[in-house]
Amino acid sequence: MIKHSLLVLPISLTLVISLLHSTTLAAIAPATAPAQAPPTTPAASAPTPPQPSGGTTDIVQVLQQANSFNIFLRLMKTTQLINQLNSQLLTIKSGGLTILAPDDGAFSELKPGFLNSLSDGKKLELVQFHVLPDFVSASNFDTLTNPVRTLAGNKPGKVELNVISYGGSVNISTGAVNATMNGVIYTDKHLAVYRVGKVLLPSEFVATTKKPLAPAPALKPAPVTSANDVAEAPKPEKEKPSPKPEQSSESSTQVVPTVTSGGVRIGVSGMWVSLVLGLVFVGVFAA
């Protein structure tokens, strides 16, 4: 029995040592990398709508998302300027566009019926006056040279836009309207849309929409006269002649007749004759 136990003990110790040795080697050996799964093909995603070249955004979407620009957007659609601008943005490679968009509140300040009084050509010119043919970032308005060029063309004194940027504020003058830029609606590499507080009316629009002054009453035309008529001009109505001084004084005082030099001589000689006759009569009576 004791011999059997002595034989089993070394075998058990050998097994324990072998187990410990294998465990130590497993801990020391580097861990093997997990097997990589075979590459899988990604699932097909839903097709996205094609984006315009350069990642530009449709101007209609910009104004619709900004809200409160319904009248300005309607004008751009009815004049078909929106199609021209979007086509330009699709093909543009450098530069861009800048839109000064008045909101619905700015249009409400116009005289009632003003937009309806404009012809289609004037409506197009009005919308073009709000678009600059260059991209201007919010920090570059102070680099513009006045008058600023717009899509409405160059008409000095009539369709002219002047921009003054100072201290972060941008003021815009048309000669008839002074407005302020009130914020950025949208901007990217080629398109900038800004909110303005008033509709930018060119000065020629204000001049043509002013109520005309009442015409002065027309004078009666002078009658055409011939040379004979000029010579025989109508005489003024005769006035009643005023009484002569002699006649006016005749009623109050007796008029002394004017004595001529011959009358004076006759009067003197008559006096001498009377004097002589008187002396004769005195001598006769005395005798």
241 alpha carbon, distance to own chain's centre: 70
Calpha distance 122→131 (Å, rounded): 15
Q: Identify the structural domains of the chain with CATH numbers, from first to last.
A: 54-209 (2.30.180.10)
Structure tokens at 135: 């991209």
Beta-carbon count within 10 A of 187 CB: 17
At 180, is the secondary structure helix, strand, or coil? strand
Exposed/middle/buried for 205, CB within 10 Å: 0-12, 13-18, 19+? buried
- What's the pLDDT at 116? 93
- Does the predicted model carry a pTM greater than 0.95? no
- What's the pLDDT at 10? 53
Calpha distance 227→265 (Å, rounded): 59
- What's the pLDDT at 228? 54
How many angstroms separate the first and last alpha carbons of the chain? 252
Partnered with residue 155 across adjacent β-strands are 159
Q: For residue 204, which of 287, 122, 273, 140 has the smallest C-alpha distance?
A: 122
Calpha distance 277→73 (Å, rounded): 136
- What's the pLDDT at 45? 38
- What's the pLDDT at 255? 46
Collect the ranges in the chain with pLDDT lower than 50.
Answer: 1-6, 8, 24-35, 37-54, 209-213, 227, 230, 245-264, 266
* DSSP H/E element including 186: strand 178-187
- Write the pLDDT tens digit of every residue in 46-99: 333 334 444 557 999 999 999 899 999 999 999 999 999 999 988 888 889 999
- Write the pLDDT tens digit of every residue in 115-131: 999 999 999 999 999 99
